[in-house]
């Protein structure tokens, strides 16, 4: 493989060259949406055995129809949902073929600064302009899954004034949009079977607001790399190389910037003194986000780390694959992977397993398969 085809190693992570054009591909899920005012992030695990796995597979064929059912009632609310699966869960639920770059969350960090993976088989990223829409969709989606899953983390995020995050800075300014966003987030010919898919990394951060607010605005601005009020980037002559914006700016072998699409949301509970930012980043490979995490937590060069982390602690971490909308629907028709079925139900041959057990069976593009 020549270096152009292989990409180069930027730090530890292989950053592949970008495709020149985006070829025809299956319809993606709602990744590069317009900004919404509300969001719910749900990370859940799939319980027990073959029956639960079959319920989740079958449910994949119903997700789009449930989004339509709830969203059509309030079209101006811009309801959307992205559904994504973690590495081990993919193997257990769907087996081969699997997305080429899907792996468990890679722990990155040094000393007290740690980005660690936490349990989670799948992620729901639900967005709308009104929380009632998010809440209703989450209720319908989880209701359809019933006892097959356990929610291990649930965050209700809100947009804070003019796109501010919990630390008071405008968040999302450098996000790519339109076709450029598609270019940076969607899998193309690097993994053709999974074209139209994407990868997503989430982390729930809790802030030490007392410590942060004790800093002068100028110090905060040097930590982030932008002006707090105006959101204007600090001039290169004064912007520290360890600022958040410097450390999360990465380039490929041609010196071109490699971007990701973020949609962070503030959240909090006053009674629990909880003030947080839910980080969510989409990219066509996990590598750019992993590289950014390494720059933030370990430093570029090592030791030159992100001072935002002196006031922000990552308490969850997950890496998930986002199938295209078409593939998500078709996952309902996948047979149970032999190993998972045999492990959990020794007396049942994998081929006997009903494929749509426990599902609403609504909205499948391909109709409902007949059971034996």
293 is a contact residue toward ligand HEM (CB under 6 A): yes
From 13, 169, 184, 321, residue interacting with ligand HEM (rule: CB under 6 A): 169
Return the residues of window 306-325 that contact ligand HEM according to CB under 6 A. 308, 312
107 is catalytic: no
Here the tokens at position 70 are: 């709830």
From 11, 17, 19, 172, residue interacting with ligand HEM (rule: CB under 6 A): 172
From 16, 171, 221, 353, residue interacting with ligand HEM (rule: CB under 6 A): 171
155 is a contact residue toward ligand HEM (CB under 6 A): no
Say how far apart CA 181 and CA 191 lie, in whole Å.
Answer: 18
Asked if 126 contacts 66 with a C-beta cutoff of 8 angstroms, the reply is no
136 is a contact residue toward ligand HEM (CB under 6 A): no
Rg of the Cα trace of the chain?
A: 21
Asked if 43 contacts 153 with a C-beta cutoff of 8 angstroms, the reply is yes
Select 234 or 362, whichever has its Cβ closest to ligand HEM.
Answer: 234
Neighbours of 98 (CB within 10 A): 17
Lookup result for tokens 């319908």 = 140
248 is a contact residue toward ligand HEM (CB under 6 A): yes
Lookup result for tokens 């060259």 = 17
- As measured in angstroms, the least distance from the Cβ of 123 to ligand HEM is 15
Return the residues of window 250-279 that contact ligand HEM according to CB under 6 A. 260, 262, 264, 277, 279
DSSP string, 268-295: EETTTTEEEEEEEEEESSSHHHHHHHHH
Q: Which of 177, 135, 184, 172 is nearest to 263 (CA)?
A: 172
User: Quick one: which segment of 20-28, 144-152, 243-251, 267-275 binds ligand HEM (CB under 6 A)?
Assistant: 243-251
Neighbours of 47 (CB within 10 A): 17
Select 256 or 343, whichever has its Cβ closest to ligand HEM.
Answer: 256
Q: Out of 62, 121, 171, 333, pick the active-site residue.
A: 171
Does 189 sit behind a cis peptide bond, omega within 30 degrees of 0 on the bond before it?
no
94 is a contact residue toward ligand HEM (CB under 6 A): no
From 13, 205, 275, 305, residue interacting with ligand HEM (rule: CB under 6 A): 205
Select 171 or 353, whichever has its Cβ closest to ligand HEM.
Answer: 171
Exposed, middle or buried by CB within 10 Å (0-12, 13-18, 19+), for 254? exposed
Select 128 or 224, whichever has its Cβ closest to ligand HEM.
Answer: 224
Angle 312-316-322 from CA coordinates, rounded to 5°: 120
From 92, 204, 242, 244, residue interacting with ligand HEM (rule: CB under 6 A): 244
* Positions that interact with ligand HEM (CB under 6 A): 165, 167, 169-174, 203, 205, 224, 226, 244-245, 248-249, 260, 262, 264, 277, 279, 281, 289, 292-293, 308, 312
């Amino acid at each position: 493989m020549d270096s152009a085809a292989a990409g180069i190693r930027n730090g530890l992570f292989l950053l592949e060259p970008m495709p020149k054009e985006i070829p025809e591909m299956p319809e993606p899920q709602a990744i590069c949406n317009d900004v919404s005012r509300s969001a719910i992030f749900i990370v859940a695990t799939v319980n027990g055995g073959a029956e639960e796995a079959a319920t989740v597979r079958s449910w994949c064929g119903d997700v789009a129809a449930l989004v339509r059912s709830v969203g059509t009632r309030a079209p101006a609310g811009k309801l959307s949902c992205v559904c994504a699966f973690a590495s081990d869960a993919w193997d257990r639920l769907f087996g081969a073929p699997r997305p080429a770059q899907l792996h468990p969350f890679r722990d990155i960090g040094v000393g007290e600064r740690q980005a660690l993976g936490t349990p989670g088989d799948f992620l729901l990223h639900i967005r709308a302009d009104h929380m009632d829409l998010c809440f209703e969709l989450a209720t319908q989606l989880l209701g359809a899954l019933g006892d097959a899953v356990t929610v291990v983390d649930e965050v209700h995020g809100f947009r804070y004034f003019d796109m501010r995050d919990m630390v008071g800075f405008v968040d999302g300014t450098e996000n790519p949009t339109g076709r450029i966003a598609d270019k940076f987030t969607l899998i193309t010919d690097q993994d053709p079977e999974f074209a139209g898919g994407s990868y997503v990394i989430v982390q729930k951060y809790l802030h030490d607001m007392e410590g942060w607010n004790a800093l002068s605005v100028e110090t905060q601005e040097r930590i982030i790399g932008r002006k707090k009020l105006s959101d204007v980037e600090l001039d290169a002559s004064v912007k520290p190389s360890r600022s958040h914006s410097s450390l999360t700016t990465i380039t490929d072998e041609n010196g071109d910037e490699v971007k990701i699409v973020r949609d962070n949301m503030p959240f909090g509970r006053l009674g629990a003194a909880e003030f947080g930012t839910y980080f969510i980043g989409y990219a066509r490979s996990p590598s750019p986000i992993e590289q950014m995490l390494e720059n933030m937590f370990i430093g570029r060069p090592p030791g030159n780390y992100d001072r935002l982390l002196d006031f922000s602690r990552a308490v969850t971490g997950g890496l998930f694959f986002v199938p295209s909308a078409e593939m998500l629907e078709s996952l309902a028709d996948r047979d149970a992977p032999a190993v998972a079925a045999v492990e959990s139900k020794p007396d049942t041959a994998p081929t006997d397993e009903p494929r749509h057990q426990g599902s609403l069976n609504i909205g499948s593009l391909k109709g409902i398969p007949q059971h034996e």
